Amino acid sequence: MSATVTMKRIAEASPRFRARITAAFYLLTILMGGLVLFVHGRSALLVDLVATACYIVVTALFYDLSKPVNRSLPLLAAFFSLLRSTTTGAGHRRPRAVS
């Protein structure tokens, strides 16, 4: 099943089901954020990338859930949420050795 078909099925689902999916991705984001504290090296980068991807999905789902109420305010919130994701992801650099 392709991602387009899956997203179409989610879009046609009830708001309660979409809210549960949003909560599941939000919980996964929190768990990955906690896990990244305990792993190091490339594993930490991969876990952080998964957490960031889940956060982007949560942003899209929150926008989709709140879009029927008001279109402009959720769009602004989604913009700042995605801005947070890009600035947090851009902050990853290799630590420098202390001399």
pLDDT of the chain along its 99 residues, tens only? 566 776 677 667 788 888 899 999 999 999 988 898 888 888 888 888 888 888 899 999 989 888 888 888 888 888 898 888 777 765 555 555 555
Q: Is residue 7 part of a domain?
A: no
Q: What is the pLDDT of residue 43?
A: 85
Q: What is the pLDDT of residue 31?
A: 93
Q: Is residue 95 part of a domain?
A: no
Q: What is the pLDDT of residue 6?
A: 67
| Token digits of residue 90 | 């851009």
- Count of domains in the chain? 1
Q: Is residue 80 part of a domain?
A: yes
Q: Is residue 28 part of a domain?
A: yes
How many residues are there in the chain? Answer: 99
Q: Is residue 58 part of a domain?
A: yes
| Token digits of residue 43 | 């594993």
Q: Is residue 66 part of a domain?
A: yes
What's the CA gap between 51 and 72, in Å, rounded? Answer: 26
Q: Is residue 96 part of a domain?
A: no
Write out the residue range of the structural domain in which residue 55 sits: 15-89
What's the CA gap between 35 and 30, in Å, rounded? Answer: 9
Model-wide pTM > 0.75: no
Q: How many helices and strands (H and E) does the chain possess?
A: 4, 0
Q: Is residue 6 part of a domain?
A: no
Contact residues for 66 (Cβ-Cβ < 8 A; gap 6+): 73, 74, 77
